Amino acid sequence: MALDPIEPKLEQTFESERLARMIRECADLEDLRVIALSLLARLGQQQAASRWLAERGSEAESERLEMLAKLIRQQQGNSSSAAEGQK
């Protein structure tokens, strides 16, 4: 299964451009600190959300594989029972 490259949505692109413009035009050091701390907080939230999604995806995949293994074992058990019954 090939993964598509992750590209930002249009509104995310606009928001990034708006913030970049705000930073470029800012001359006040205190304002830049506020912007930087805000961006740092957003980055931390994004990283936590990405980690949570990856963990949930991994758990879901493990559950699917366990279910598949159980079905295969059941089918093998049914096949061997049917074969023994025909003897």
Residue 3 lies in a domain: no
Q: What is the pLDDT of residue 80?
A: 72
Is residue 50, in this structure, part of any structural domain at all? yes
Q: State how many domains the chain has.
A: 1
How high is the pLDDT of residue 40? 95
Output the pLDDT for position 82.
66
Asked if the structure places residue 9 within a domain, the reply is: no
- Give the Cα separation of 53 and 47 in Å (integer): 10
pLDDT of the residue at 87: 58
H/E element holding 53? helix 29-86
Domain that holds residue 48: 27-86
Can you list the residues of the chain whose pLDDT is less than 50? none
In the prediction, which pLDDT does 77 show? 85
Q: pLDDT value at position 58?
A: 94
- Yes or no: say if 23 and 33 are a contact pair by the CB < 8 Å rule: no
Question: What is the rounded CA–CA span in Å between residue 49 and residue 71?
Answer: 33
pLDDT for res 34: 94
Q: Is 2 inside a domain boundary? A: no
